[in-house]
């Protein structure tokens, strides 16, 4: 699956349990932009929850 560098960055922080606001602060983007990146990755990976996305992110790091 092709994802952008920023989507990958967001997923990495999401795995660590950060909120959208915290992720945005870490990356210097708004929490609304974080939400959009997460929504985009939900669609790309056909998932509906942050937990499902986190599992995929962990598997991608292996």
Question: Hey, what domains does the chain have and what are their CATH numbers?
Answer: 5-60 (1.10.10.10)
- Does the pLDDT value for residue 1 go beyond 90? no
Please say whether the beta carbons of 38 and 20 come within 8 A: yes
pLDDT at 61: 85
Please say whether the beta carbons of 27 and 36 come within 8 A: no
pLDDT at 35: 98
pLDDT at 28: 98
**pLDDT band at 22, cuts 50/70/90?**
very high
If you search the block for the tokens 């950060």, which residue do you land on?
18
If you search the block for the tokens 């998932």, which residue do you land on?
47
Q: What is the mean pLDDT of residues 7-23?
A: 97
pLDDT at 62: 84
């Amino acid at each position: 699956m092709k994802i952008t560098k920023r989507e990958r960055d967001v997923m990495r922080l999401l795995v660590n349990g950060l909120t959208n606001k915290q992720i945005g602060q870490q990356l210097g983007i708004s929490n609304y932009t974080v939400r959009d990146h997460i929504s985009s990755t939900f669609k790309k990976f056909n998932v509906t929850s942050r937990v499902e996305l986190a599992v995929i992110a962990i598997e991608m790091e292996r």
